[in-house]
Amino acid sequence: MPIYQAGSLNTAALQAPDLYLQIVPPKTRYINGVATDILGQVGVGSWGPVNSPMLIGGPGDVSQKIGAQQVRKYDLASACNIAIQLGASNIRAVRVSDGSDTAATSALKDTGGAIGINLTADYTGTLGNTLTASLVPGTAVGTWKFVVGFAGVTPETFDNLGAGLTGAALWAAIASAINNGTTARGPSQFVNASIGPSTAAPAATQTVTFTGGTDGASGVTDASLVGADGSMPTQRKGMYALRGTGAQVVNLIDLTDSTQWPSMVGYGLSEGAYMVTQGPVGASYSTVSSSLNTVGCDAYALKVMVGDWVYWQDNVNGQLRMMAPATFIAAKLAALAPHQSPLNKPLTNVVATQRTQAQQPYSLAEIGAINAARLDVITNPCPGGNYFGARAGLNCSSNPAINGDNYTRMTNFISLTMAGAFGSVIGQLQTPELWRSTKSTIDSFLLNLQQQGMIQAFGTQLDGSNNPDSRVALGYMQADVQVKYLSVTRYFLINLEAGQSVSITVSASPRS
């Protein structure tokens, strides 16, 4: 009795009498939505790969993978810690540099002072200057132990190295253990080694420190954050290094150059990402609005904050710092479910803004002008109370049907989910059964959203009525999907009639 997977047996050309069993996979598939909480951040750091996304899930990751937060423009560690405080804990951080960044180095020497091994930090940056390396007698007689220490991390230990070896062969064995690992452990995650000219024995006990690591941050500009695209991941720089990471909200830290906004829109539309930025420090809403109109960005993929920057308490450096508003709003968006709006939602780590610090609260007329200008602003109070929050909840589209933050987030969420779920349809024979199973999968996903209170209604058409033979014969299959989003309450009007002459009719029937 042969067993076949469905589709691998030509059932119209059987020759030998027998029982043929085909394994048929379930016709109804279920799909889960893509992650919507991934926040992309691009800035400068003191450690980690350049132009390569790093996964950051908490403060420990920030200090170990990026370095301590610093008081400087474009600081990646500061932006990541702000985001974590606001509940965004699924971050893809991209470090950029001006090209002058260098890796810290050190060397292990022999008894005569000649270099046996050159040591280089795995990444460039000043955090590499905290590295130390020790070479001491190993646990086993006639061996050596190499230990790498790094701030805040458990030291790496390579023990019992070079048994029976001397001179250049010993140095080569130690270097190989560092670069390739041993039977007891993997290679070093902090340093790499290269052999020096020494042919003598190592000094009996030595501990060296690393020096020369630089961040390459001083020459970074707004254009550096945007970077350059490429067909291969290794060619992508800055913002474009986030391609394929699933980051649905992106913050190019401290970027204010409006000429970069069109590139950000293009990236956001192609990747299904919501790009958040702002005007320069202190720039009024009229100035930022003029910049937005000048560059012609009228798209749901971009959100622009006015130049009313935010004060945040930096407990690491012990000072109140003025930070870009997009850093806070992008984090809040990533922390919220995609059908929610940041409008009137508390930003708990904001201490003040430039306007509130100057005791110049926004009037309702100004808030209205900011909304009309397709901008947003953080301020206090909010309609819900005396807390800091967003006062518009809008993207930069001039179309009122699609200009809500929730439109951008939900549209990207649903489209990316469907784009990633139905690649298996390609190559299958187009039959009514394929239509039925595909439609059922789409409907099941949307029904889950409806039952979770994330959408109001939906409709799907995938049958012969929208797939005529003339199109099917050319290989096309079309599904028409409609989804109605829940509306965000922006205006609440209460009509109050009060006074001594008001006539009120009271029902005589008892209340149920």
User: Tokens for 303?
Assistant: 């959100």
- Residue 309 CB contacts under 8 Å (≥ 6 apart), including other chains: 278, 281, 282, 322, 323, 324, 325, 353, 354
| Amino acid at the residue 367 | I
| Paired residues of 483 in beta bridges | 458
Do 430 and 477 touch, CB atoms closer than 8 A?
yes
Do 202 and 135 touch, CB atoms closer than 8 A?
yes
Identify the H or E element spanning 351: none
With 80 as the cut, is the pLDDT of residue 405 above it?
A: yes
Cis, bond preceding 53 (omega within 30 deg of 0): no
With 80 as the cut, is the pLDDT of residue 215 above it?
A: yes
Q: Which of 72, 71, 70, 85 is nearest to 39 (CA)?
A: 85
pLDDT of residue 5: 87
pLDDT of residue 512: 56
Phi, psi of 408 (to 5 degrees): -60, -50
pLDDT of residue 510: 63
pLDDT of residue 76: 98
Q: What is the pLDDT of residues 417-452, one digit of tens each?
A: 999 999 999 999 999 999 999 999 999 999 999 999
- Residue spans of the domains in the chain: they are 39-98+217-406, 103-209
Task: List, in sequence order, the alpha helices (H) in 34-88.
Answer: 59-65, 76-85
Q: Are strands 132-137 and 144-150 parallel, antiparallel or unpaired?
A: antiparallel
Number of H-type helices and E-type strands within the chain: 12, 22
- Residue 432 CB contacts under 8 Å (≥ 6 apart), including other chains: 463, 464
With 70 as the cut, is the pLDDT of residue 399 above it?
A: yes
- Residue 487 CB contacts under 8 Å (≥ 6 apart), including other chains: none
How far is residue 287's CA from residue 366's CA, in Å, rounded to a whole number?
13
Average pLDDT over residues 271-281: 98
User: Tokens for 11?
Assistant: 């059932």
Which stretch of 12-26, 87-101, 319-333, 475-489 has the lowest confidence by average pLDDT?
A: 12-26
Q: The CATH number of 103-209 is which of 3.30.420.40, 1.20.120.530, 2.60.40.4290, 3.40.50.300? A: 2.60.40.4290
pTM of the predicted model as reported, rounded to 2 decimal places: 0.93
Do 75 and 62 touch, CB atoms closer than 8 A?
no
CB atoms inside a 10 Å sphere around CB 452? 11
How far is residue 55's CA from residue 92's CA, in Å, rounded to a whole number?
5
How far is residue 49's CA from residue 123's CA, in Å, rounded to a whole number?
6
Fold of 39-98+217-406: Rossmann fold (3.40.50)
With 70 as the cut, is the pLDDT of residue 281 above it?
A: yes
Using DSSP, state whether 226 is helix, strand or coil: helix
Average pLDDT over residues 275-284: 98
Q: How confident is the model at residue 15 (pLDDT cuts 50, 70, 90)?
A: confident
User: Tokens for 81?
Assistant: 């810690």
Q: Tell me whether domains 39-98+217-406 and 103-209 share a fold.
A: no
CB atoms inside a 10 Å sphere around CB 216? 21
| Paired residues of 444 in beta bridges | none
Q: What is the number of residues in the chain? A: 512
Phi, psi of 469 (to 5 degrees): -55, -35
Cα 269 versus chain centre, distance: 16
pLDDT of residue 22: 86
With 90 as the cut, is the pLDDT of residue 313 above it?
A: yes
Q: How confident is the model at residue 134 (pLDDT cuts 50, 70, 90)?
A: very high
User: Tokens for 130?
Assistant: 């905290």
Do 235 and 128 touch, CB atoms closer than 8 A?
no
Average pLDDT over residues 240-255: 98
Average pLDDT over residues 283-296: 97
Q: Which of 371, 387, 366, 355 is nearest to 488 (CA)?
A: 371
Cα 191 versus chain centre, distance: 27
Cα–Cα distances in angstroms (integers) from residue 318 to residues 93, 126, 438, in the given order = 24, 21, 57
Q: How confident is the model at residue 511 (pLDDT cuts 50, 70, 90)?
A: low
DSSP state of 394: B
With 80 as the cut, is the pLDDT of residue 26 above it?
A: no
How far is residue 41's CA from residue 330's CA, in Å, rounded to a whole number?
9
How far is residue 1's CA from residue 283's CA, in Å, rounded to a whole number?
78
pLDDT of residue 49: 98
Using DSSP, state whether 354 is helix, strand or coil: helix
Q: What is the residue whose two structure tokens read 């600081």? A: 75
With 80 as the cut, is the pLDDT of residue 379 above it?
A: yes
pLDDT of residue 312: 98
Q: In the predicted model, what is the mean pLDDT of the chain?
A: 96
